[in-house]
Amino acid sequence: MELDGGGGRFCSGMPGNDVGWMLGAMTAVSCLTWNVRGLNDQRKVRHVSAYIQRHRIDVCLLQETHLEAQTMKRLRAGWIGVCHGAVFSRYARGVAILLRKGLQWRTHRVIVDPNGRYVLLGGTLLDRPCRLVSVYGPNVDDPGFF
């Protein structure tokens, strides 16, 4: 896998949805994508946050967060690190990208879908150009979306 043509190499991570990237000679970045099926319950937010921290996930892409603007603010306030998301309603859609505190990331651009389907971060990861995207696609065939 290349990161903006930067020569990043895909490497296998833990079983499940975990993926890692190799950047340079010895630098690995762990990435997790997770359909959380709603984050309106504070206990679930704590559980997800604890899991990400316990497994030392650098980049976490969340789908189906089901957050509204106010609850997204609470998620941001409770996360130690970078947090961006697209919200829609308490019952549908919503995505987020969480980056571990201390990760060498600099955000240059954020694109948020007003319908809560995607959030895109453009920036530099370990001084290399990188784009991170969390997408929750429609559950019906919609060629216009993709």
User: Does pLDDT of 104 surpass 80?
Assistant: yes
Predicted pLDDT of residue 10: 35
For CA atoms 111, 113, 114, 117, the dihedral sign is: negative
**Tens-place pLDDT, residues 3-30:** 333 333 333 333 344 445 555 555 789 9
Predicted pLDDT of residue 58: 96
**Residue corresponding to tokens 């429609």:** 138
**E strands within the chain?**
9-12, 18-23, 27-35, 59-63, 81-86, 95-100, 105-112, 118-125, 128-135
Look up the pTM and report it.
Answer: 0.80
Please tell me whether 139 is known to bind a ligand.
Answer: no
Q: Compute CA distances 33 → 42, 76, 143, 144, whole Å.
A: 20, 18, 23, 24
**Tens-place pLDDT, residues 29-54:** 999 999 999 999 889 998 999 999 99
How does DSSP assign 13-43, residue by residue?
Answer: -SSSSEEEEEETTTEEEEEEEEE-S---SHH
Which amino acid would we find at residue 72? M
Contact (CB, 8 A) for 83 and 111: no
Which amino acid would we find at residue 53? Q
Contact (CB, 8 A) for 137 and 93: no
